[in-house]
Amino acid sequence: MKERLFANLYIAIDAVIANKVRSLLTALGIIFGVAAVIAMLAIGNGAQQEILEQIKLVGVNNIVIKPIVEQEEQKIAEATAEKEKKKFSPGLTIRDVNSIVETVPGISKISPEIILETTIIKSGIRRSAKLVGVEPVYFDIYNFELSDGSIFTPEHLKMGAPVCIIGNSIRTKFFPTENPVGKSIKVGPNWLTIIGVMKERYVSESSIAKLGIRDFNMDVYAPLQTVLIRYKNRDLVIQNTINPVQNFSRGRIIIIGGDEGADDSGPAVNYHQLDRLVIQVDQTNMLNPTAEILSRLLQRRHYGVVDYEIEIPELLLKQQQRTNDIFNYVLGAIAGISLLVGGIGIMNIMLASVLERIKEIGLRLAIGAQKNDIVQQFLFEAVMISVSGGIIGVILGVTLAMLVSSFANIPTVISLASIVLSFGVAATVGLIFGIAPARKAAMQDPITSLRYE
């Protein structure tokens, strides 16, 4: 039995090798189908991995509150009549944080942030960067890890110590050959001692644009009190912010004595003490109710002035995940159609091959070959063509995934499961679509076949 099986396999191999061009053309559908499956799954896995990284960056179950200038819409005449009645708002401050902690239930963590545009100077090199005033809970919310050093201690927070944690890109730029922990770096007008270095975090340009995620690798993190004491506290009213000939109103400057009907609104003034407030909720199903409570609380504390916006980044991530899923379904359908077309191509070519080799089939039957031998021969040929096409398709698919990652700057993840799946499908397609031609070849009458011209 084994001898007959190996003999049929040898005959099938000899037939495929004797018709190299036809076999290659037959396998093209399988080649491109398998390559499409592998490349599609690699792109889909890369997109999923990027989304998981984005979830880590924006945090889980987070609500983000950002300050804005009060939005209003009214006629010019109404604005002129009511300009003296403009409502006052203290802006987003640490007092709001304390009120949220005391009032709103179900909150596990809350992280206020102050973000200042500044410059970094070290060894004659100057670069623009962001100084971010945070508390230690910030690193827990965003799942940040340090490659060196440690985070802020209670003493740093209480005393407003001149210390900082730098991003990985700043370390690469300013300390390429040395450990920056314990060194000093000039951030704006002050020298800060580096106590830690962040691990590198990958953030794509699309994430920065769509989700408002910063390039964390280029940020300098300092204790919140350090920023308020040593840099800027917008909640304080000092002499430099008061103009004797101007009537200062929160978020707006009104010029006294202007022409009637003229647009007397000056540039918007950022009066918010905090630039960002991240609130982590215990349970996911409480995100929307908590956001509604926060909105009412802030509206009451800001005297009806809506100078803030509340976002739930997880909803944006879910929408992006849904978009990627649809994209993967479309690519999967295209790849499946390609494999189906490839299988039909194998069946058509094998049926044509039966007609071309009727005399060969009749001769084998005449000298003692059984119908099972003919079926095995043609099945071996179909499977060999599909398997060889699958191997070439795997190589082509992996190459395409690497090219997409290199030139299109799209993350791709090639998994062993996708290779095994596509290769298995290719072999199965060859087996299924090779059955009909094999049975047709086996049903040939030996005498009629020998007389066939």
Q: 132 CB contacts (<8 Å, ≥6 apart)?
A: 113, 114, 115, 116, 219, 220, 221, 222
* Tens digits of residue pLDDT in 239-275: 454 544 344 444 443 333 333 334 444 556 788 899 9
What's the rounded Cα separation, in Å, for the pair 381 and 10? 10
Q: Given CA atoms 130, 131, 136, 137 in this order, what sign does their dihedral have? A: negative
User: Is residue 336 scored above 50 in pLDDT?
Assistant: yes
Distance CA 388, CA 380 (A): 12
pLDDT tens profile 12-35: 777 777 777 777 777 787 788 788
Mean pLDDT for the chain?
Answer: 77
Cα-flanking dihedrals φ and ψ of residue 136, to 5°?
A: -55, -30
268-321 tens-digit pLDDT? 678 889 998 999 888 877 888 898 999 999 999 988 888 889 888 766 666 666
Share of the chain above pLDDT 90, in %: 18
> What local confidence, expressed as pLDDT, does residue 69 receive?
63
Q: Of residues 263 and 450, which shows the higher confidence score?
A: 450
pLDDT score of 38? 84
Nearest-angstrom CA–CA distance, 432 and 382: 9
358-366 vs 313-356: helix crossing angle, rounded to 10: 70
Output the six-digit token pair for 352: 């044509």
Q: Higher pLDDT residue, 339 or 73?
A: 339
* pLDDT at residue 96 greater than cutoff 50: yes
For residues 428-443, average pLDDT: 74
- Beta strand spans in 232-359 (E): 246-249, 252-255, 276-281, 308-311
Identify the pLDDT of residue 267.
52
Q: Which of 163-167, 237-241, 345-349, 359-363 is predicted least confidently?
A: 237-241
At which residue do the structure tokens 């809350």 appear? Answer: 110
